[in-house]
Structure 1
Amino acid sequence: MDEEKKAQFQAELLRLRKEVTEALARKTQDVHGRAGGEALDEADMGNATLSMELELSSRRMLLETLEMIDKALRRIETGTYDTCEICRRKIPLERLQAIPYTSYCVECQAKQEAQRKK
């Protein structure tokens, strides 16, 4: 991968990192803003619990995405950005354009997901 492409991917990853960081900040404010002490009936408590679980799940996904973005930025610095971490083949440019923080080629990603489902 040439230096111009690397710079483009780095800029895109930094833009995504900013978006994810801002979304995390909003989620944190939302969760803290809802931590009120009002009395709730059982149905309201159930809804509040479900809502909180969804917020925490969303926050967890954002944190995982942020981690993958940071990892991709480190791989750009080390010159391994476009190399699959499992099979060491080149990750196609189209895949990197679709998911700039991916660490795997399509085949290895599919294997990883299949293993998680077991």
Structure 2
Amino acid sequence: MSDKWEELNRKEQLLMEQEADLVREEAKVERLEEDYIDHLFKTNHLFRETQQLFHGTEAQLYEEISQKIHEDSRKMEESLGAMQKKVRDRRKIVQSQLDEVYEEKQKLSRDGEEKMP
């Protein structure tokens, strides 16, 4: 086996490991988002149930708390979305690099230097 072929195999293996890590990271972020949405739903439900306890000037406090929850929720959703995008973008780069390795291996094979398994 030629040095070039071995180098491509090592590069391919490394990229495949990176891709597997990114797939796991992507799944972890998705689970985190699902857990957050579930928690937010339960929190909102509980908060709405307590709304009737706020009277008069306390109603203003309820509105302030409600607004703060909404703002924090939006920030968290944006952060989770940014995390997902970052992982997807990194995965696309790794997939592109893998495609380049496959093309190089095909070229070597066509040139008669090696046969692609």
| Interval containing the TM-score (normalised by the shorter chain) | 0.5 to 0.7
12, 15, 20: which one aligns with 2:18: 12
**In structure 2, what is the Cα distance between the partners aligned to 1:70 and 1:19?**
10
Residue in 2 that maps onto 1:21: 27
Tell me what 1:3 maps to: 9
| Aligned residues of 1:31 and 1:55 also touching (Cα < 8 A) | no
Question: 1:17·1:69 contact (CA, 8 Å) conserved in 2?
Answer: no
- Whole-Å separation in 2 of the counterparts to 1:50 and 1:7: 44
Q: CA RMSD in A?
A: 2.5
Gaps of 5+ in 1: 81-118
Structure 2 unaligned blocks of 5 or more = 1-6, 52-61, 102-117
Percent identity over the alignment is: 8
How far is 1:74 from its partner?
2.7
**TM-score normalised according to structure 2 size:** 0.55
- Deviation string 1:17-73 (CA, Å, 9 cap, x unpaired) is 212321221222212221232235122112211221122111211221232133124
Answering whether residue 81 of structure 2 is matched by residue 75 of structure 1, we say no
**Higher relative contact order, chain-length normalized (CA < 8 Å, sep 6+):** 2
Aligned residues: 81
TM-score (normalised: structure 1)? 0.55
- Secondary structure of 1:28's partner? helix
CA distance in 1, matches of 2:88, 2:25: 13
Q: CA deviation at 1:77?
A: 3.5
Displacement of 1:14 in angstroms is 1.6
